[in-house]
A = this chain, B = another copy of it.
């Protein structure tokens, strides 16, 4: 007999029945408007009825390009709970990529914030039959809409006056609830298809006391956009727990965040290191009270220890590294062991993280053999678990799976307590003389230099060692640094055979649509001869080892 389904309808009903008075606080850049869970439930019902009126229903994909708003939260709940799939669209993708993902997802409808319309210039909407626009449509937006060449409806016209209740569908927990495309630094974007079951189990996992411990007493502020790994699942998790939510709109600059933290006093927030660094910059020398935050998760790329330290020293805020992927949400959290003192805790919280209940992580050798969990044996990390996808949308990326395990593309170690250390991306690791050099470690060392704003390391071919590291450095405004000085600085921090012989000074390191270093672009620049390479020492001076 069919068990009671792990459905988003059940999750929605729970919040509606038990936490009707929990509050969603929505920021428009100037003020915060409050509504209750009960209001959002009514929003969701009206949206579902509106979507039905356009002929949409179970099994359909609906593309949604919205900031972190009340309308987006209602769509997160309503679309899967009516049996359809919400495809969260990242407006920072290129027009080519947007064209691709809309076609790949076969979206029948596109819900767009008016401010995102310019990003869709030149996009072929392909299967999209209709566009719904949220927010005011000015002349420029009108022009952009005309260019999209589809009928469109303002969001208000779609939902106003519709009934405030809806008979949500429990359906099949293996139906795809959310579709989120990986940003494709390698190859075409791949759709990570999260089933209803994945979403619910991930939410339960994030409520666990060992992980985020989100309860009805929390105020949760996702800083990451909801189109990026569903804001790490936090909207669903908060809903299951009945926590208040702070939705930032599109306003995630340091100044806005500081204002929101001081005013709304979130207890849990989550963002990428770049944003956290922006908060540090804006808060420099100011007397701020950010102490409401009991947990500030950092993910997406490794958090510099200095960021963790600064948040702790200035405001007593525990920045804690979280490991996750679009394909599986949260995998590991760098929560310090009980009894760690403040200084030790900073060290623990800067690490990659400890595996959480619900996922299994292992390192494997190049031939796929599992390596011991001894904290030393490094290999590609593979994961499987209750919220790890088993395939990509449309069967893409089948080579990323092996015996039911997802290959993460990360290189690292796992120890006997489940602590992971990621040393590099597999494709970025530099294979020098049969040994691996971690590009991330060399970058981190270079970025400790006060003159260095950014440093990205890629491999260059080498006759003797097969590959050697090239460090691409963007200096801070007005700073100066010679190749020899950089080398001397690195020599104090890295083993000698990791020291790069080559440096290229660049204006800025190219970034992907989610703000990560775009090493694919750097490699292309290298190949096209666009990087001006200088030697950090005599080329004849070979590395001491291996």
- A residues sitting closer than 8 Å to B (CB atoms) are 1, 3-4, 6, 10, 13-14, 17-21, 174, 195, 197-198, 201, 204-205, 207-210, 213-218, 240-242, 338, 354-355, 357-358, 360, 373, 384-386, 388, 390-391, 404, 416-418
Residues of B within 8 A of A207 (CB): 207-210, 357
Q: Are A18 and B355 in contact (CB under 8 A)?
A: yes
A-B contact pairs, 25 of them (CB 8 A): A1-B390, A1-B391, A3-B195, A3-B390, A4-B390, A6-B386, A10-B386, A13-B360, A14-B357, A17-B355, A17-B360, A17-B373, A17-B418, A20-B416, A204-B204, A204-B208, A204-B357, A204-B358, A207-B208, A207-B209, A208-B208, A208-B209, A209-B218, A213-B215, A241-B357
Residues of B within 8 A of A213 (CB): 209, 213, 215
Q: Are A197 and B386 in contact (CB under 8 A)?
A: no
Docked pose: A338 CA to B240 CA in angstroms:
17
Q: A4-B388, A209-B209 are in contact. List 7 more A-B contacts (CB 8 A).
A: A3-B390, A14-B358, A14-B360, A17-B418, A20-B416, A208-B215, A208-B241
Residues of B within 8 A of A14 (CB): 357-358, 360
Mostly, the A contact residues are loop
Q: Are B210 and A216 in contact (CB under 8 A)?
A: yes
Residues of B within 8 A of A4 (CB): 384-386, 388, 390, 404
Q: Which 7 A-B pairs have the closest CB atoms?
A: A209-B215, A18-B418, A209-B213, A207-B208, A204-B204, A217-B338, A210-B215
Residues of B within 8 A of A218 (CB): 209
Q: Are A417 and B21 in contact (CB under 8 A)?
A: yes
Q: Are A18 and B354 in contact (CB under 8 A)?
A: yes
Nearest CB of chain B from residue A372's CB, rounded to whole Å: 12
Docked pose: A338 CA to B216 CA in angstroms:
9
Residues of B within 8 A of A390 (CB): 1, 3-4
Residues of B within 8 A of A391 (CB): 1
Specify the chain B residue showing the minimal Cβ separation from A338.
Answer: B217
Residues of B within 8 A of A354 (CB): 18
Nearest CB of chain B from residue A310's CB, rounded to whole Å: 27
Docked pose: A418 CA to B241 CA in angstroms:
13
Residues of B within 8 A of A418 (CB): 17-18
| Centre residue among A6, A18, A214, A388 by max chain B CB count within 10 A | A18
Q: Are B355 and A210 in contact (CB under 8 A)?
A: no
Residues of B within 8 A of A208 (CB): 204, 207-209, 215, 241
Residues of B within 8 A of A355 (CB): 17-18
Nearest CB of chain B from residue A43's CB, rounded to whole Å: 19
Nearest CB of chain B from residue A371's CB, rounded to whole Å: 13
Residues of B within 8 A of A10 (CB): 360, 385-386
Specify the chain B residue showing the minimal Cβ separation from A216.
Answer: B210
Nearest CB of chain B from residue A129's CB, rounded to whole Å: 30
Nearest CB of chain B from residue A117's CB, rounded to whole Å: 38
Nearest CB of chain B from residue A337's CB, rounded to whole Å: 8
Docked pose: A207 CA to B21 CA in angstroms:
24
Residues of B within 8 A of A357 (CB): 14, 18, 204, 207, 240-241
| Centre residue among A4, A14, A21, A241 by max chain B CB count within 10 A | A4
Nearest CB of chain B from residue A402's CB, rounded to whole Å: 14
Nearest CB of chain B from residue A203's CB, rounded to whole Å: 9
Residues of B within 8 A of A416 (CB): 17, 20
Docked pose: A287 CA to B288 CA in angstroms:
45
Specify the chain B residue showing the minimal Cβ separation from A419.
Answer: B18
Residues of B within 8 A of A215 (CB): 208-210, 213
Residues of B within 8 A of A197 (CB): 3
Residues of B within 8 A of A17 (CB): 355, 360, 373, 416, 418
Residues of B within 8 A of A205 (CB): 204
Q: Are B210 and A241 in contact (CB under 8 A)?
A: yes
Docked pose: A217 CA to B336 CA in angstroms:
11
Specify the chain B residue showing the minimal Cβ separation from A208.
Answer: B207
